[in-house]
Structure 1
Amino acid sequence: MTDLIEALRTPAADAGTGAVSIGMEVARVDGRDKVTGQARYAAEHPARDLLYGVVVNATIPRGRIEAIHAGAALAMDGVVEVITHLNRPRIRSFDIFYKDMTAPGGSPFRPLYDDRVAYSGQPVALVVAESFEAAREAARLVEVVYAPEPYATSLLEQRANAHKPSRLKAGYAPPPEPKGHADQVWERAAVRIEAEYYSGVEHHNPLELFASTVIRGADGHLTIYDKTQSSQNSRWYVSHVFGLSKDKVTVRNPYVGGAFGSGLRPQYQLPLAVMAALKLERSVRVVLTRQQMFTFGHRPETLQRLRLAADPDGTLSAIIHEAIAETSRMEDYVEVVVNWSGELYACEHIRLGYNLVDLDHASPMDMRAPGAAHGVHALEVAMDELSYALKMDPLALRLKNYAEIDPTHGLPYSTKQLRECYLQGARRFGWDQRPPEPGAMREGRELIGWGMATGIWDAMQMFARASAVLHADGQLVVSSAASDIGTGTYTAMAIIAAAAMGLPLEQVRFQLGDSTLPVAPIEGGSSHVATVGSAVQGVCEKLQKTLFKLARKVDGSPLAKARFADVEFADSRIRLSARPDVGVALTEVMAASGEQRLEEKYMMLPNMLKQMKYQRATHSAVFCEVRVDPEFGTVRVTRVVSAVAAGRIINARTARSQIIGGVVWGIGQALHEETFCDHRLGRFMNHNLAEYHVSVNADIHDIDVIFVEEDDRIVSRIGAKGVGEIGLVGVSAAVCNAIYHATGRRVRSTPMTPDKVMRP
C-alpha cells in the first residue's frame, strides 16, 4: 500500500522518466490506476443483462443430499433459477485438468456434481437472480435435506491413522532416503533435544474476494474475468470441463487483489458461474462472501516431531524430522515440510518422514511458502532449543554447521550468500549485544527478547513465451500471459524490457492477464520473475539483433561496420559501447526500414540439464525483537531485520515491499492466525475477519530489509531468483525464539497466543 500511495502523490513520469536499470527503486507503473479506482478487478467488469449468482453451502461435514426444496426461492421476484446437481449443465471429467504442479493426486472436488457432501461449506446450489440482493435473500430460503454420515475433522485425534502419500502431485519431492544412521547416533549423542511442534489451520484472506464475471457474447463466446493466478489455467479448466473449444473462451485477470496461493487452482465460483451462463445463455457474475472464503483450501493443520543431536562443540550429528499433515478424502495434498531439514545444515546422519491423515475437510492448498512456513519453523525453533542445551549462541550454532554443499544430495549451490545474510543482518540488528540468558532484558513491565532464524525457499524456473513489438514512434509493447497478484509483475517486466532496449520506462508497456497472450506459467512458487523475466529478456535480445541489422543498413550509418558485440542500447539509441556519442536512434532505424512495427517472439525453456547439477534456493536470516507483558502474555514484535539473498533484485522498491509483506505474514502466523474447527459440528467457526485474527497496523513496528548482493545465472538468464515466499519463511521461528529469550518459556505451537505465553 505504501508503494501505491507514493504512486498517487508522485507524478507518473517520476516512475518512469529517463534511463532505468536493473535494481533501481521504481514506483509501480500500475499504482495510479489502483489508487484512483481505474483498475478493475474480477467482480467489477460491466456486462449487459448481467445475472448474479449466490452460493448455498452445505451445513454438514459428510453425507448425502436427500432433497433440495427451492420453491420458496424461485417464488421471489427477480429469481431466475436455482441450479443444483439435478439440473446443472452437462460437464466432462474434472480429473483431466489436474495434471499441473499445483494439483494434488486424487480426484478433485466437483461442485454440484452429485448428491455427495464431502465437507461442511461445500457448495450445494447456486441461486441466480436479476440482482445480487435478490439472489442472496433467495439463497437463505433454499432448504436442503441431508442424510449425515460419520466424519472426522481432528488431526490430533486421527494421527494414528496417518499414511504415506499415495497419490502424489507433480512437482512434489518426497523426503529423500535416510542418510547415515540418524536414530542410532541420536540415541548415543552427548547433547540432544526432542520436541513436538503443532501448527493450526490458516486460511487465505486476500482483500479481493473470489469472483468470476462470465460475459456471454452473441455468438456464445465466453469472456471471463476471474480472480486467478493464471488466466490460461482457468481457460484450460473451463474449456476441458465444459467441452468448449479454447477459441470460445477467453479468461482475463489484469488485476488481482492478492491471492497468496489461493488462486493457483480455479475455485468453485468459476465453474458455477460458467454453468449458469451456459444454462441460462446470459452473462453471470458469482462473488463469494468473506464467510465463503473459508469454504475451500487452507494451510493444513500439521504436527511435527524433531530430534537433533550434537557434539559438545556444537557440531550437528543427527537430524530426525517427521511430520503429519491433514489432507482431504478426495485428494492427497502434500507439501515439502521436512525436506528443508536436509538442506540447511551440514550433517552426516539425517532421517526425514512425512505422512498424511484423511479428514472431512476441503483439500488443503498452497499458502505462501507452503511446507516451509511450517517445516522451517519447527527446525529453527529446535535449533534454538539446541543452542541453549549447548550453552552456545544461536547464530554461532548456525555458522558452526553452515553447509557449503547440499547435505542431502551432495550438490553445490548455484549461489548461496546465506553466510553474508547472517553477518549483515546481525550487524544491522546489533546481535553482538544480546545477553545469553533468558529474561535478562526488561523495560518497565515488559520483558525484552531477541531471537533469530534462518529462511530457505526453492529458486524455481518454469517455461514461458513472450512477444515484443517496437512501434515506429519508439513505443515498445511486451506481452505474456503472466499475472500480477500485487507482486509488481507489471513494473518488473517493464524494467527488464526498458533496460534491455535502452528506453525510458514511460515508453514501455507490459501486457499481462489475458489467456490469448503468449503462454506463461501460474504465478506461484516465487518463480515469475525468473521465468517470465527471462522470456522478456530473451525476446528483447532478439529484437536488439533485428534492429542492429537494420541500423547497419541506414544510409550513412555510423554502425555499418560495427559488430553486435560492439554496441549497446541506451538513451533510445543503438550506440558504440566504446564511443557513446556514436549511434543511431531507434526511431531513425524504424523510419529507414519503412516498418510501422517490428515484432519478435521468444520461448524460454529452462536449461534443466544444467540446473539439475545444482541446489537452487533463496536464503535469509531473520532477527527479531519482542516485548512481552509477563502478566498478560501479550507479545509485541517491535523490531525485525530480514537479510535476504535472492539473486539480482529487479525493482528494489517492490522487492522490499514483498519482504515486508512476508514479515507481516510471519508475525500473523506467529501470534494471530488460526482457524478453529468445532469437531462436534465438523465446521470452521471463526470464518470472518472479526474472529480470524490477522496482523493490523498496531501490531507492526520497525521492519528493516537488507538485500545481500547475489547474481545467479544458473537459475535465470537475468540473475534473479524470487522474493515472494522467502520474506515469510523463518519469521515465526524468530518470534518464538525471541519469546523464549524474553521469558524462558518455550511455546511449541502456533499461533503463540497470550494463554500459551503465560502457561508455565
Structure 2
Amino acid sequence: MSPQPQAAVGAPLSRVDGRLKVTGKAAYSADHDIRGAVHAVVVDSGIARGRITAIDTRTALAQPGVLRVISHLDAPRLEYRDNPGAFMDPPVGERLHVFQDDRVRFYGQPVAVVVARTLETAQHAAHQVRISYEAEKPSTDLTAPGLPVNDPLPPQNYERGNPEEALASAEVRLEATYRLGRMHHNAMEPHATIARWDGDKLTVWDKTQWVQGTQSELAAVFGIPPESVRVVSPFVGGAFGNAARVWPHSTVAALAARETGRPVKLVLTRKQLYYAVGFRPAYAYTLRLGGNRSGRLAAMVHDMTAETSTYEHFMEGVVSAGQMLYATPRVSQKYRTVPLDVNTPTFMRGPGYATAAFAIESALDELAHELGIDPIELRLRNEPEEDPSKGLPFSTRRLRECLRAGADEFHWDRRVPTPRSLRDGDRLIGTGVAVGCYHTVRLGAQARVRLDADGTALVESASSDMGPGTYTSMTQIAADALGLTMRRVTFRLGDSFMPASPPHSGSLTMASIGSAVQDGCDKLRQQAIQLAVEDEDSPLYGVGADDVVVLHGRLRVRGDQARTETYGQLLARNNRTHLETLGSFTPPSGPGRSSVYAFGATFAEVAVDVRLGLARVRRMLGVYDAGRIISPKLAESQALGAMVGGIGQALLEHTVTDHRDGRIVNANLADYLVPVNADVPGLRAVYLDNGEDLDAAPIGVKGLGEVVAVGVAPAIANAVFHATGRRVRDLPITIEALL
C-alpha cells in the first residue's frame, strides 16, 4: 500500500471544536435541554459511619412543586448485577448500593433524593429533610495506630534478588518515609446526569469518560439489557480520571426518573464532588535504598500504604515504577491498603506512577546530595539497558536524551550544587529535576468510516474527550489516511450506540482508537482505489493499486499528475451514494517482545521567601519521549496542564478531614487550594523528534496524557530542598514546613 502524504498529522493545528467551546455552544452533560425535565438534589449523610434510624420528609413534601423524596424507606430493590466490564480495573468488593439499606459508610453518602419541578425548590426541600442517625466512631485517618491493614485484601508483594542482604552491606544507605495527601480532581465541569425513561429503555446524558462503561453499569444496576440503555456524552469539561467509572449519583438520577415518570436532571454541587466521586488516595511510602559511593544502586525496598473504602478496595499501579525505572538488581515491594470510612478512591492523572515518582525521585535526590553527585549524573549512572522487571528490551527508552536535552535547555550547568547558594532579595532560589514514566496501555477499539459522494467523510467511535483534543487528533489521522483536508472530515464521539471504544483514560485513546481510525480510513481509501483501477471509465483504470495516492480528495497516480479524479466523480459514475467500512484495532496478545513505556524529565526552579516560608515556582521545563506526536499543539497543552496540576500536588492541594466525624473541612474551592494564574510561571514542553514506536501502536504513538504529570511534584520538591537545604517529605509542601 502506497504511503499517504502527511499534511494534517504533525501539524500544530487548533482544536476543531474550539469555536464551540469558546462560544458556549458545546453541550456538556447538564446543558442538554430535555423536554419536561425536573430537578433532583441529593441529600447527603451527616455522619461517616452508623445507621439511619428515621427520615422525616413531611416538611419537604409540603413544599409546592416537590414531586418525591426517595430514600431506602421507599426505594425499589435494584438488581446490582456483577459487572466487571464497567470499570477498566474494578476494585475488589461491591460498589455502593444507593438507597438499599440503612447503613452509612462515609460522610456525605447519598441517603435520599428530592425531586421537584425547579432546581430552587429541590434545593430548599433537600434542606428540609430531617434524618436521625445512630452514629459510630469513624476511622478516617491513614496514620492512626491500630487500623486494620489489608482486610480483606492481601498485600501486593514483589521481590527480585535479596535486597535486605544488599542493604546490609551497602556503602551508602538511605531510609525515608514520604507522605502524600489526598487530592480531589476539581474539574471545571461538575458531575451531572440527565436521565429519561421511554418505557423500559433508558437514555442518559452523563459526564463520563466511558459511555459504554456507563451503559453497561446502568444496565447491570437496573437489570435490563445493555442495548436498552443509551449514554450520550459529546463533551466532558475535564475529569482527570474521576469520570472513568459510574458513581452513585448517576444511578440516583435514573432511579428518580423511573420513579417519577419524568426526565430528571441531577447536578452535584462543588461540595458534593468531595464525597460523591473518587479521589487520589493518601499514601505513606517508606523507601530504603542502598548503593556504593560512585552512585550505583544495589537495592531498593518499597513499603506502600494507601487508604481505601470499607466496601471496595481500590489499588492502582504504584508498584511498576519501582520495578523498572532504574537498574537496581535487588528490589522488594509491599503495597497494602487500609480500609477507612471514606468513599472509594479512584484514578487521578498519572495514577500510581505520580505517587511512586515522588518517593523514588525525592530519594534519588537525597542520595545525590549525600554522595555529592549531580542529580542528573546519578540518574544516568543507573539507566538500565533493558527492563529489569521483565528482562525485555524497551521498545524505545530515550530518557538519557530527555535529561540531556532538558539540562541544555534549562541551563543546568549554571547550577551551584550547594543548597541555599543562590538568593534574590528575600527569596532563596533552587532548581530540581525528576524523571517519570508511564506504561503504554492499548485496548480493542472500533471506528466506523463513511465517505459520501460529495467528498466529505464521517468517522465515529464511542470515545470521549475530557480535554486532550480527541476530536482534533482523530480528525487529523482520518484526514491524512483518506487524503482529505481537515474541513472535509467530521469525527463524532460520545454515544454508546457508536462502535465499541475503551475508556478514555490511561493515555490509551490515541493508541487504541487512533489505530482503529487509521485502519478504517486505510480500508476505505483502498476500497475507493480498487473501485477506480477496475473501472474502465476511470483515468486510473489498470494502474496498480499501490501506485495510487489520494490528496485533497483526488485519487492520483504517483508521478503522473494527469491521471486523476475526485472521490465524488468516482462515486457518481458508479452510482454509489457512499462508501463505508468498520476499522478496528486489537492489541497484541500473549507475551510482548518489548517493554513499552513513555518517559519524561521535568526541571523546576523555585523561589522560597525566607520570611514567609512561601514557595513559588518560577519556571518549569518538561522533555518527553512519547512516541510519534500526532498533534504538537495539543501535546504542548497536555504537558503545560500537567505541570499546573503538579504545582497543585506539590505546593497547594490537600484534603483536610476532621477525623472526629469524618467530615472534609475544606470541601470547596476557597479552602481546597488549586493553582491559579498567579501560581503558574513560565512553562515549556519539548517532545523528542523522530520518536515513532511501532511496538506501542500501529500509528507509532505511546500516549502522553499521563506521563507528563509524573515527575512534576518531585522536581518541585527537589528544587525546594536545593533552595532551602530543608528536605520536606510530605505533600503538599506547606508554609509551616518551611518556616
Does 2:243 match 1:263? yes
Root-mean-square deviation (CA, aligned residues, Å) is: 1.6
1:628-647 → structure 2 map (5 Å cutoff)? 628-647=608-627
CA-to-aligned-CA distance 1:447-504 (integer Å, 9 cap, x gap):
1101000011111100111110000000000010010111100000000000111100
Q: Verify the 8 A CA contact 1:252 1:514 in the aligned structure 2.
A: yes
Quick one: which amino acid aligns to residue 478 of structure 2? A
Does 2:704 match 1:717? no
Report deviation, 1:365. Answer: 0.8
Does 2:114 match 1:127? yes
The residue number in structure 1 matching 2:643 is 663
SS of equivalent residue, structure 2 residue 177: strand
TM-score normalised by structure 2 residue count: 0.97
Q: Verify the 8 A CA contact 1:58 1:120 in the aligned structure 2.
A: yes
The one of 93, 97, 105 aligned to 1:118: 105
CA-to-aligned-CA distance 1:557-606 (integer Å, 9 cap, x gap):
34323323222222212222344554332222212221011100122111
The residue number in structure 2 matching 1:572 is 553
Quick one: which amino acid aligns to residue 460 of structure 2? S
CA-to-aligned-CA distance 1:337-359 (integer Å, 9 cap, x gap):
23211111111111111111110
SS of equivalent residue, structure 1 residue 140: helix
Does 2:15 match 1:35? no
The residue number in structure 1 matching 2:595 is 615
Does 2:58 match 1:78? no
Q: Distance in 2 between matches of 1:294 and 1:158?
A: 25
Q: Distance in 2 between matches of 1:456 and 1:428?
A: 20
Q: Verify the 8 A CA contact 2:515 2:584 in the aligned structure 1.
A: no
The residue number in structure 1 matching 2:348 is 367
Quickly say closer, same or farther: Cα 1:159–1:182, change in 2 above 3 A: farther
CA-to-aligned-CA distance 1:234-275 (integer Å, 9 cap, x gap):
111112211223333211000110111110111222101110
Q: Distance in 2 between matches of 1:498 and 1:99?
A: 32
The residue number in structure 2 matching 1:679 is 659
CA-to-aligned-CA distance 1:170-220 (integer Å, 9 cap, x gap):
xxxx45x31111111112211121100001111111111111011344x45
Report deviation, 1:433. Answer: 1.1
Q: Distance in 2 between matches of 1:651 and 1:33?
A: 19
The residue number in structure 2 matching 1:205 is 186
Q: Distance in 2 between matches of 1:503 and 1:725?
A: 31
Report deviation, 1:97. Answer: 4.8
1:135-174 → structure 2 map (5 Å cutoff)? 135-158=122-145, 161-163=148-150, 166=153, 174=156
1:127-526 → structure 2 map (5 Å cutoff)? 127-158=114-145, 161-163=148-150, 166=153, 174-175=156-157, 177-217=158-198, 219-295=199-275, 296-526=277-507
The one of 83, 105, 109 aligned to 1:96: 83
- The worse-fitting range, judged by mean Cα deviation, of 699-708 and 559-568 is 559-568
Q: Distance in 2 between matches of 1:137 and 1:102?
A: 39
SS of equivalent residue, structure 2 residue 572: helix
The residue number in structure 2 matching 1:544 is 525
Q: Verify the 8 A CA contact 2:538 2:570 in the aligned structure 1.
A: no
Q: Verify the 8 A CA contact 1:158 1:357 in the aligned structure 2.
A: no
Q: Distance in 1 between matches of 2:569 and 2:323?
A: 57
Q: Distance in 2 between matches of 1:120 and 1:98?
A: 28
The residue number in structure 2 matching 1:585 is 566
SS of equivalent residue, structure 1 residue 641: strand
Report deviation, 1:106. Answer: 0.8
Q: Verify the 8 A CA contact 2:88 2:503 in the aligned structure 1.
A: no
CA-to-aligned-CA distance 1:319-372 (integer Å, 9 cap, x gap):
111100011111110012232111111111111111111100001111111111
Q: Distance in 1 between matches of 2:438 and 2:251?
A: 33
- The worse-fitting range, judged by mean Cα deviation, of 153-162 and 391-400 is 153-162
Q: Verify the 8 A CA contact 1:447 1:627 in the aligned structure 2.
A: yes
The residue number in structure 2 matching 1:731 is 712
CA-to-aligned-CA distance 1:649-675 (integer Å, 9 cap, x gap):
111111110111111000100000000
Q: Distance in 2 between matches of 1:25 and 1:563?
A: 34
SS of equivalent residue, structure 1 residue 109: coil
Q: Verify the 8 A CA contact 2:81 2:223 in the aligned structure 1.
A: no
SS of equivalent residue, structure 1 residue 688: coil
The residue number in structure 2 matching 1:3 is none
SS of equivalent residue, structure 2 residue 570: helix
- The worse-fitting range, judged by mean Cα deviation, of 583-592 and 274-283 is 583-592
Q: Distance in 1 between matches of 2:102 and 2:544?
A: 70
Q: Distance in 2 between matches of 1:130 and 1:216?
A: 17
Q: Distance in 2 between matches of 1:78 and 1:655?
A: 49
Q: Distance in 1 between matches of 2:544 and 2:590?
A: 31
Q: Verify the 8 A CA contact 1:102 1:264 in the aligned structure 2.
A: no
Q: Distance in 1 between matches of 2:658 and 2:260?
A: 39
Quick one: which amino acid aligns to residue 499 of structure 2? P
Q: Verify the 8 A CA contact 2:354 2:709 in the aligned structure 1.
A: yes
Report deviation, 1:167. Answer: 7.8
Quick one: which amino acid aligns to residue 236 of structure 1? S
Identity of aligned residues (%): 41
SS of equivalent residue, structure 2 residue 726: coil
Report deviation, 1:554. Answer: 3.4
SS of equivalent residue, structure 1 residue 95: coil
Q: Verify the 8 A CA contact 1:165 1:356 in the aligned structure 2.
A: no
Q: Distance in 2 between matches of 1:556 and 1:732?
A: 64
The one of 90, 109, 130 aligned to 2:96: 109
Quickly say closer, same or farther: Cα 1:164–1:406, change in 2 above 3 A: farther
Q: Distance in 2 between matches of 1:580 and 1:706?
A: 38
Q: Which runs of 5+ in 2 are unaligned?
A: none
The residue number in structure 2 matching 1:697 is 677
Q: Distance in 1 between matches of 2:373 and 2:726?
A: 18
TM-score normalised by structure 1 residue count: 0.94
Q: Distance in 2 between matches of 1:205 and 1:653?
A: 24
- The worse-fitting range, judged by mean Cα deviation, of 547-556 and 499-508 is 547-556
Quick one: which amino acid aligns to residue 91 of structure 2? P
Quick one: which amino acid aligns to residue 627 of structure 1? A
Quick one: which amino acid aligns to residue 259 of structure 1? A
Report deviation, 1:314. Answer: 1.0
Q: Verify the 8 A CA contact 1:373 1:730 in the aligned structure 2.
A: yes
CA-to-aligned-CA distance 1:404-463 (integer Å, 9 cap, x gap):
201111111111111111111111101111111111111111111010000111111001
Quick one: which amino acid aligns to residue 294 of structure 2? D
Q: Verify the 8 A CA contact 1:94 1:110 in the aligned structure 2.
A: no
Quick one: which amino acid aligns to residue 713 of structure 2? S
Q: Distance in 2 between matches of 1:531 and 1:285?
A: 33
SS of equivalent residue, structure 1 residue 544: helix
SS of equivalent residue, structure 1 residue 178: strand
- The worse-fitting range, judged by mean Cα deviation, of 397-406 and 546-555 is 546-555
Q: Distance in 1 between matches of 2:560 and 2:385?
A: 43
Q: Which runs of 5+ in 1 are unaligned?
A: 1-17, 169-173
Q: Distance in 2 between matches of 1:158 and 1:555?
A: 83
Q: Verify the 8 A CA contact 1:231 1:513 in the aligned structure 2.
A: yes
Quick one: which amino acid aligns to residue 140 of structure 1? H
Q: Verify the 8 A CA contact 1:164 1:355 in the aligned structure 2.
A: no
CA-to-aligned-CA distance 1:349-396 (integer Å, 9 cap, x gap):
111111111100001111111111211111000000000111000000
Q: Distance in 1 between matches of 2:242 and 2:57?
A: 31
SS of equivalent residue, structure 2 residue 499: coil
SS of equivalent residue, structure 1 residue 223: strand
SS of equivalent residue, structure 2 residue 707: coil
The residue number in structure 2 matching 1:7 is none
Does 2:12 match 1:25? yes
Quickly say closer, same or farther: Cα 1:283–1:502, change in 2 above 3 A: same
Quickly say closer, same or farther: Cα 1:720–1:19, change in 2 above 3 A: closer
Report deviation, 1:165. Answer: 6.8
Q: Verify the 8 A CA contact 2:138 2:659 in the aligned structure 1.
A: no
Q: Verify the 8 A CA contact 1:639 1:703 in the aligned structure 2.
A: yes
SS of equivalent residue, structure 1 residue 518: coil
Q: Verify the 8 A CA contact 1:79 1:129 in the aligned structure 2.
A: yes
Report deviation, 1:94. Answer: 4.7
